[in-house]
Amino acid sequence: MRILVTGGAGFLGSHLCDALVARGDAVVCVDDLSTGRTGNIARLQGETAFEFVEADITRDLDLPGPFAAVAHLASPASPPQYLRRPLQTLAVGSSGTENALRFAHRHQARFVLASTSEVYGDPHVHPQPEDYWGHVNPIGPRSVYDEAKRFAEALTSAHRTTLEVDTGIVRIFNTYGPRMSIGDGRIVTNFIGQALTGRPLTVYGDGSQTRSLCYVDDLVRGIIAMIDSTEPGPINLGNTEEYAVGSLAELILEVTGSASAIEYLPLPVDDPARRRPVIDRALERLSWEPEIGVREGIRRTVDWFRSQPGELIEPLNCA
Ligand code: UDP
């Protein structure tokens, strides 16, 4: 298959490109390099089955076909990154998604939207099944990401019903692993960066808020299963192991063997109190479930950062 991956030079996108090329697909990776990095796709650049196009998906995209599928991942994804680019985040979720959908329609390609657990906002239902509509502050700081993704889901559904585009929506819960940018301000990269450089781990609030962290290889398997299916979704993709942020700090101190202290900073506005996916649908419809536990995934991620000392710059805090 020939597949377009938008956001293909990002953390998740580049792992998806790797896995698709490895199984024999041809990949065209589109990225404007606003948060993506060429280093993430450096290994693929020599492959004949891989092509990189530097382009902004919020502008119309014209590439010669054929394309069997479009995986639309382009968007800033970490809170500090999207809070720094509020208008661009809204634009890529709306115009960017519309362009990617039009592209899929033109090429009669399967379209898979990388949506997010953020569509559930600060959830009143726990854990979160796909039929929960969410609890999102439409004008809060996180809304630029949350509402853009909610609009992207609506746009995707409308293209399915009105134009018969073969669409699928996956809702991705917190994902981590090698190649995350240490400076993008997410929990796993901040804590690992801080632990490995002897700085205090910055826990926001009292650390009782929870997240469920999925290792990148598991997540990519789920996206590929969705590309290969005809399921419309939405389908949650995530790991059901739920950790309080404070316990995750302890785990990372243990895995790294670091003597760093823990420092408490204010909780960011609208930070969701808890998050854990219900993944029955992924298991039923995609035969997908995660295989790598959090301790093992964190160990692999720490090993990767240890092998890349140039990555260990100052982490970014949003509190
Ligand atoms: N967090 C934290 N310290 C950090 C970075 C994040 O305590 O240095 C917390 C944050 O408040 C949130 C959780 O970790 O409750 C996950 O944050 P992240 O930015 O990774 O993703 P989110 O799920 O909020 O989009």
- Write out the H or E segment, with its range, that includes residue 168: strand 167-172
Fill in the DSSP letter of residue 257: T
Largest Cα–Cα distance in the chain? 58
Structure tokens at 249: 């700090």
Active site residue 145: yes
Domain 176-211+240-275+292-313 part of CATH 3.90.25.10 = yes
CB 286 within 8 A of CB 222: yes
302 Cβ closer than 6 Å to some ligand 1 atom: no
149 Cβ closer than 6 Å to some ligand 1 atom: no
- Cα of 37 vs centre of ligand 1, distance in Å, is 22
Q: Is the peptide bond between 79 and the residue preceding it cis, with omega within 30 degrees of 0?
A: no
From the alpha carbon of 272, which atom of ligand 1 is closest?
Answer: 15
Length reported for the chain: 319
CA 93 to CA 148: how far, in whole Å?
Answer: 5
- Domain ranges in the chain are 2-175+215-237, 176-211+240-275+292-313
Task: Note down pLDDT in tens along the chain; length 319 residues.
Answer: 999 999 999 999 999 999 999 999 999 999 999 999 999 999 999 999 999 999 999 999 999 999 999 999 999 999 888 999 999 999 999 999 999 999 999 999 999 999 999 999 999 999 999 999 999 999 999 999 999 999 999 999 999 999 999 999 999 999 999 999 988 899 999 999 999 999 999 999 999 999 999 999 999 999 999 999 999 999 999 999 999 999 999 999 999 999 999 999 999 999 999 999 999 999 999 999 999 999 999 999 999 999 987 766 655 565 4
pLDDT digits (tens, 9 = 90+) for 3-17: 999 999 999 999 999
From the alpha carbon of 315, which atom of ligand 1 is closest?
Answer: 8
Report residue 316: phi and psi, to 5°.
Answer: -105, 130
pLDDT digits (tens, 9 = 90+) for 256-315: 999 999 999 999 999 999 999 999 999 999 999 999 999 999 999 999 999 987 766 655
Report residue 151: phi and psi, to 5°.
Answer: -65, -40
- The residue with tokens 């240890």 is 306
The residue whose CA has the least distance to atom 13 of ligand 1 is: 187
User: Helix, strand or coil for residue 196?
Assistant: helix
Buried b (16+ CB within 10 A) or exposed e, 132-150: bebebeeeebbbbbbbbbb
190 Cβ closer than 6 Å to some ligand 1 atom: yes
- Cα of 223 vs centre of ligand 1, distance in Å, is 23
Helices 216-228, 11-22: axis angle to 10 degrees equals: 60
Superfamily of domain 2-175+215-237: NAD(P)-binding Rossmann-like Domain (3.40.50.720)
Least Cα distance to 12 among 169, 147, 214 occurs for: 214
- Cα of 204 vs centre of ligand 1, distance in Å, is 7
